[in-house]
Amino acid sequence: MKIFTGAYIISNAGRTDPKIDVVCEAHRKFLADPRQYTTYNDPTTTHDDTLNTFMTVAYVFCELAEQRSDYRAPLKRMMHGVQ
């Protein structure tokens, strides 16, 4: 099984897009301590409690799209669900 590293997301300038690094790092933090799973952002905290959880969702989306070599179909399904 190929592990998604973000190396395949390339910007127009031919460099890895630094935004995917944020997603990968948040996913690594989530895996290191999955007890931190949360979908509620407590307004009394100074940080975003949900970041690692939702970035993991984005990571898995990208990972599956890379494995299938197709972003168009999954993105189209996701956008249909959002509408």
pLDDT digits (tens, 9 = 90+) for 3-24: 455 555 534 344 556 667 788 8
Task: Tell me if 72 is assigned to some domain.
Answer: yes
Task: Tell me if 9 is assigned to some domain.
Answer: no
Task: Tell me if 8 is assigned to some domain.
Answer: no
The CA–CA distances, whole Å, from 45 to 41, 50, 83 equal 8, 11, 31
pTM of the model: 0.66
How far apart are alpha carbons 24 and 18 in whole angstroms? 10
> Is it the case that residue 38 has pLDDT exceeding 60?
yes
Task: Tell me if 2 is assigned to some domain.
Answer: no
pLDDT class for 44, splitting at 50, 70, 90?
very high
Task: Tell me if 67 is assigned to some domain.
Answer: yes
Please tell me the total count of domains within the chain. Answer: 1
Range of the domain at 54: 18-82
Task: Tell me if 70 is assigned to some domain.
Answer: yes
